[in-house]
Structure 1
Amino acid sequence: MKIRVRIKVDKTISITFPIITLAIFCFLSRLLSEPLILYLGIPFSLTTFFFLNLLHVSEKRICLNTSASTIKLLLCPLTILSILTVLLVPPLEGVPAEWMSVLLPNWIRCLSSIVLTSFIPGYFLLQIIDRGKSIKGIATIVISYLLSLFITSIVGFLILLTGNSISSVALQTILAINLLLMLVYFVVNITSINFLESLLLLFVLLTVTISSLFVMLYTFPINRSDMPYHLGLALKYSKSFPVYGGFLIPAYPYFFHLYLGALFSLSGIMPAVVEQSLYILNFMPVLAFYSAVEEWFNEKKDKRIALIATSLSILLGFGGLYMLYLRCVQPAFSITQLLSIATYKTYDIYMRILLLPDIVAPIWNIGLPVLLMLLYFLRKDTYSYTKKAIVPILIALGWLGHIAEPIIFIFILLVYTLFFRQSRGGGFGPHVMLGLFLVAIVDLIAPAQIYLRSVKEEFSTPFFTSLSLSMLITVIEVIEDKLMVNFSTNIKNFTLKRLETVWRFGRWILLYAYIFPFIVWLAVEKNFNLWEWGGYSSVPFFVFPLRFGAVGLLAVT
């Protein structure tokens, strides 16, 4: 007789484990003499509580119903109040020594500026485009954010084309656009949301936001690394295009800097402080990840996969455990020394994964959210008009803001079209082509080109390669739709059969391949230094398990 042992996550474990988690954070806070660890442990413990409760299957559901009229009553006054704040609160003069030196009204104006440039215009535009109300929930927030960045950057681009400076004209222009979009705004109905799932996602975002705020406050007025570089470029673009000898110098994607320039104009406080305050938007990649995973797994029996994956995604690697080990063997080290050593020994903690940004930069504020939302639309069965309108904008924004992510998506789209595409009559290739054409139009009307050509190349290889691949994808989609040819059927069936056989033994090989780098790292740990291996540009293979941490170990087991 077979005996089955089932581990059930009941209420006792759901209560006990978060208490233990909080106790561990309290212990680490006292051990490292850093109270912020305890403050971060409070929302993380609550996240653990709701995560364990979510695993406990229950028929009892508590739903929150938010009516469309409620959203209208909240959003329209928020828009008007934000506009009045920007107009009535005078700009702050001088350079504040610390964040406490900035007066509360100026902080309110700064936050209002972020809302007017980073969310509200995109939300209004989304509701105007998506008349079928096919995009709902978390995806609405991320797409609204990305559309707002595109609108704000385009406004800055057009202002510079007219010969004016962003700092002198952007305020009036952006406020007028917000008012215009509000007048044609269509209200969207919000569907029921499971109460427990909402709380879990809320505390995941709260954990990410609190940790980002700690970094923001401790590195005031501006974090080092790339942020001063982006600040300098934004200040240049606030006045005019930096054209020298017929070229934009530096030849770097500039839409993020146009967005920053417009935000500086509205905020009324020092540009460095404004850029630093964008740490509060660090939860956007997490929301984008949740939306993409939810859409790709929405047909599965267990629809909690997106929440579980998002909750686990905020976990650190094993760098923290190594730092704890260092504290035990070197009790005299300060927390700054411990963080520094643990970082260059484990390649973790700083610049660890993309879902938890360390700085404000185009890759996290534009690139990654664009990539994840393109994956969302790739799977989303939405109205054709909505997809035709939004996907080209996302492609254009991603390319004009950072370039790399649209290229990655185009390669993913090619593989998807060849092997996994099921629907007919809904081609994605033309949307990508239209987005690239938008990039070409913007680059051609600019006073100098960096997207179609560069200082070293007459023609940009990444752009024209991506355009060629998007054309190839379009041709494949047309052949599949018109001739009813499915390139993937035979290959997919053959691959699945082979994978079933290979997986019986391959999973043990995968586990070995994951543990082996640990052994290598232990062998070289004493003399290993990240900077001697080339820094962040050269990643040794044996540190990946350390960076993936418990999530990676869980995935391979």
Structure 2
Amino acid sequence: MKGKEIMGIKIKSHTFMFLTLSASSLVASLFFSSLFKEWLIFYLSAPFAVSLFFLMLLNREGNGIVLKIVYSCNPKILLMVLSVLCMTLVLAVPTFEVSMLEWMKTPPLSLVRYISALFLTSFLPGYLILKSVDRKGGIRGCAAIVLCYLLSLFLSFLAGFLILLSSNSVSVLGSPVIVVINLILLAVYYFTSRKVDEYRSLTLNSFELGIILPVFVEIILGSLIVMLSNMPLTSGDMRRHYGFALQFSQRFPIYAGKIIAYPGGYLFHVYLAVVFSLSGIPPALAEQGLYLISFMPILAFYSAMKAWFPEKEEKTPIVATFLSILLGFGGLYALYLRYMQPAFSVTQLLSIATYKTYDIYMRIILLPDIVAPICNIGLPVLLMLLYFLRKDTCSYTKKAIVPILIALGWLGHIAESIIFIFILLVYTLFFRQSRGGRFGPHVMLGLFLVAMVDLIAPAQIYLRSVKEEFSTPFFTSLSLSMLITVIEVIEDKLMVNFSMNIKNFTLKRLETVWRFGRWILLYAYIFSFIVWLAVEKNFNLWEWGGYSSVPFFVFPLRFGAVGLLAVT
């Protein structure tokens, strides 16, 4: 391949082109930073430009540079030392008891204790459970990180829930109970895990690392900026969750025979109460600090994409993850405002563009701007259930983890578990292969766990609704899971796929419909954009009803470039 000689270094032409485009994006970010007089634009664009360079390199044939690192260590010893250190910090460092308004006075040692508390409540228990059930090491990488986090959430909730059932306070017993649980799990892990090899290897794909790492860094930086800009506690739903968590720190908030809890469930608030008890800093700051783990949805999304696309299409998950963080056309309107009103500050531009385009404020949930059950529990659970639906892993691992994920999702944020059950029904009818592993019993077991938790609680909110004797969503989901189980048994016993003729006919029809239907979608996309330009002369979408009524031509604005790529 032809190359260009630059300062005596031979660079291939396609590499030179990719470097040029990446540099151009950096120059563009510098221009917009100068235009808006806001250098955060450049700081956040730099990782994105780096990932753009690696994304373009993916068009080359081959997998790129693979780095294989061989190292010698005993992970058991390292884990033991780190765990004991975190437990010591949580128990020994005194609590920093000041007003949350004095958050800038928080000493560094208290921050270290808070990080240790997050490790003990949001990672270590799940890691030890995962290593115990996944003996063959079939779950690795990003999926393992997300599962460690979700399993830890469930175990921390159970600890706090049992403390409340014993009529004790989570704020008093939370720390010793979590420490004891981690010690027990560490002992089980130490004596039951297999002997590790003296030498281990770590394989890194340079292209994959070049895409995912900058996106990951950008999400972390954005979350930290949001966290620090809204100290000591972000307004809105986060303050409601804060209030609920404070109540669950002392007792079950029962009034008139009913638990007063968030409509989506109280698992998240019990978990927050446990974090508060270990954090050693004001509870509001402890909740605000959960922005540090706001990257879980994007890791779960990437893991699900890797499971659903075969190895021959391994570039697709990387590209999908890269595109998933893009926004719509709200930024274009901000540029228009800047051109028309040069005196506007960045705050004014974002404020106007936010409420007039529905874009910047209502951004994609993979980039959470608040700490909430849907971001911290619902979406990661849904994506990891989709991961297990396609992941070829040990049957015992699925039997142990999937019911916990179903229970976690239902107790924390119900909607995503219901969505998954409907997806599972469609998958079982049309895409499941005979003897492909049964998923229905795992879902039923997860719902039974939900029922057990709700029945032993002082009052029920999951099995019965406020106006009904029985909860329609719960019993409908239970009935669907039973139906899915029956279909799976029929497929496996008869060794035929359920409705084979219907399945083949439907798939062929879908392929034909998509071949022509995508042009209709493209037309609808462009037509909606033209309608927006023609109708919204003052760019005020709130005239159409605000949150209660969103006109059809707004959705292309929300989907932005990602939507355009999807329909083409």
Return the TM-score normalized by structure 2: 0.93
Alpha-carbon distance between aligned partners in 2 of 1:251 and 1:279, rounded to the nearest angstrom? 20
Q: Which of 309, 327, 348 is 2:320 aligned to?
A: 309
Q: Is 2:238 aligned against 1:227?
A: yes
Q: CA shift at 1:532, angstroms? A: 4.3
Distance 1:210 1:70, change over 3 A: farther
Match of 1:353 among 364, 367, 387: 364
Could you list the per-position Cα deviations for residues 363-408 of structure 1 after superposition, in whole angstroms to 9, with x for gaps in the alignment? Answer: 0000000000000001111111110000000000000001110000
Letter aligned with residue 10 of structure 1: H
Q: How far, CA to CA, are the matches of 2:441 and 2:72 in structure 1?
A: 34
**Structure 1 residues 234-243 or 290-299, which shifts more?**
290-299
Residues 64, 207 of structure 2: 8 Å contact kept: no
Distance in 2, Cα, partners of 1:37 & 1:24: 10
Q: 2:89 aligns with which of 82, 85, 110?
A: 85
User: Does 2:124 match 1:142?
Assistant: no
- Matched to 1:286, the amino acid is I
Gaps of 5+ in 1: 1-7
Please state how far the C-alpha of 1:554 moved relative to its aligned partner. Answer: 1.3
- Whether the aligned pair in 2 keeps the contact of 1:64 and 1:192 (CA below 8 Å) is yes
**CA deviations over 1:418-460 (Å, ceiling 9, x no partner):** 0111141511000000000000000000000000012211100
The structure 1 residue matched to 2:34, chosen from 30, 33, 40, is: 30
Mapped partners of 1:229, 1:89: distance in 2 = 29
Give the equivalent residue in structure 1 for 2:19. 15
Confirm or deny: 8 A CA contact 2:47 2:217 kept in the other structure: yes
Task: Report whether the alignment pairs 1:401 with 2:406.
Answer: no
1:505 aligned to 2:516? yes
SS of the aligned residue for 1:192 comes to strand
Shifted more, 498-507 versus 357-366: the winner is 498-507
1:101 has 2:67 as partner: no
Structure 2 residue matching 1:10: 3-state secondary structure? helix
Letter of the 2:240 partner, please give it: Y
Partner of 2:181: 177
Q: Aligned to 2:209, which of 191, 198, 202? A: 198
Could you tell me how far apart the structure 2 residues matched to 1:194 and 1:256 are? 36
| Whole-angstrom distance in 1 between the partners of 2:366 and 2:230 | 20
CA distance in 2, matches of 1:153, 1:530: 41
1:260 aligns with 2:272: yes
Q: 1:265 is aligned with what amino acid?
A: S
- 1:541 counterpart = 2:546: no
* Structure 2 CA distance for partners of 1:477 and 1:137, relative to 1, 3 Å: same
- The residue aligned with 2:386 is 375
CA deviation map 1:17-46 (0-9, x unaligned): 221111121111121121211211222222
Q: Secondary structure at the match of 1:64?
A: strand
The residue aligned with 1:341 is 352
Going from structure 1 to structure 2, the CA distance change for 1:220 and 1:84 (only over 3 Å counts) comes to same
How far apart are 1:112 and its partner, in Å?
Answer: 1.2
Q: Which stretches in structure 2 are left out of the alignment for 5+ residues? A: 1-11
Letter in 2 for 1:295: A
Which residue does the alignment assign to 1:275?
A: 287
CA distance in 1, matches of 2:262, 2:313: 47
**Any idea what the Cα deviations from partners look like across 1:476-533, whole Å, max 9, x if unmatched?**
1111111223224322322333344434432221110111110121123234544444
**Secondary structure in 1 aligned to 2:455?**
helix
SS at 1:193 equivalent: strand
Q: Which amino acid aligns with 1:470?
A: S
Aligned to 1:164: 168
C-alpha spacing 1:260/1:526, structure 2 compared with 1 (3 Å): same
Q: Distance in 1 between matches of 2:169 and 2:20?
A: 59
Question: Given the alignment, which residue of 413, 426, 432 partners 1:415?
Answer: 426
- Partners of 2:340 and 2:320 in 1: CA distance: 35
Q: Which residue number in structure 1 is paired with residue 5 of structure 2?
A: none
> For residues 452 and 190 of structure 1, do their structure 2 counterparts lie closer, same or farther at Cα, with a shift above 3 Å needed?
farther
User: d(CA) in 2 for partners of 1:65 and 1:102?
Assistant: 39
Deviation digits for residues 79-135 of structure 1, max 9, x if unmatched? 222112212221111124365322211111111111111111101110001112221
Structure-2 separation of matches of 1:500 and 1:468: 31
**Against the structure 1 CA distance between its residues 92 and 538, is the aligned structure 2 distance closer, same or farther, given a 3 Å change threshold?**
farther
Q: Does 1:494 align with 2:498?
A: no
Structure 1 residue 54: Cα displacement: 3.0
* Residues 1:225 and 1:485: Cα distance change in structure 2 (over 3 Å): same
Superposition RMSD on alpha carbons, in Å? Answer: 2.0
Aligned sequence identity (%):
65
- Show the 5 A alignment for 1:103-142: 103-142=107-146
Higher mean alpha-carbon deviation, 474-483 vs 38-47, is at 38-47
Cα gap change, 1:37 to 1:147, in 2 (>3 Å): same
Q: Secondary structure at the match of 2:58?
A: helix
Q: Which secondary structure does the structure 1 equivalent of 2:101 belong to?
A: coil
Q: Is the 8 A contact 1:67 1:190 kept in 2?
A: yes
Partner residue, 1:288: 300
Aligned length: 549
* Map 1:312-331 → 2, pairs under 5 A: 312-331=323-342
| Residues 194-241 of structure 1, C-alpha deviations (whole Å, 9 max, x = no match) | 233123211111011101111001111111120000000000000000
Q: What TM-score, normalized to structure 1?
A: 0.94
- Say if 1:260 and 1:509 are closer, same or farther in 2 by CA, change over 3 A: same
Distance 1:258 1:518 in 2: 45
Give the letter aligned to residue 463 of structure 2. L
Q: CA deviation at 1:467?
A: 0.3
CA contact (8 A) 2:232 2:288 kept: yes
Query: Which among 213, 216, 221 is matched to residue 224 of structure 2?
Result: 213
Tell me the CA shift for residue 62 of structure 1. Answer: 2.5
- One-letter amino acid matched to 1:93: E
Alignment partner, residue 474 of structure 1: 485
What is the deviation of 1:184?
2.0
Q: In the superposition, relative to structure 1, how do residues 280 and 537 fare at CA in structure 2: closer, same or farther (>3 Å)? A: farther
Find the partner of 2:460 among 449, 457, 464: 449
Cα distance between partner residues in 2 of 1:177 and 1:194: 37
Contact 1:136 1:190 in 2 (8 A): no
Aligned 8 A contact 1:161 1:446 in 2: yes
1:514 and 2:525 matched: yes
Q: Is the Cα–Cα contact under 8 Å of residues 323 and 342 in structure 1 kept in the other structure? A: yes
- Structure 2 distance, partners of 1:259, 1:539, is 35
Q: Say whether 1:464 aligns with 2:453.
A: no
SS in 2 for 1:451: coil
Give 1:387's aligned amino acid. Answer: K
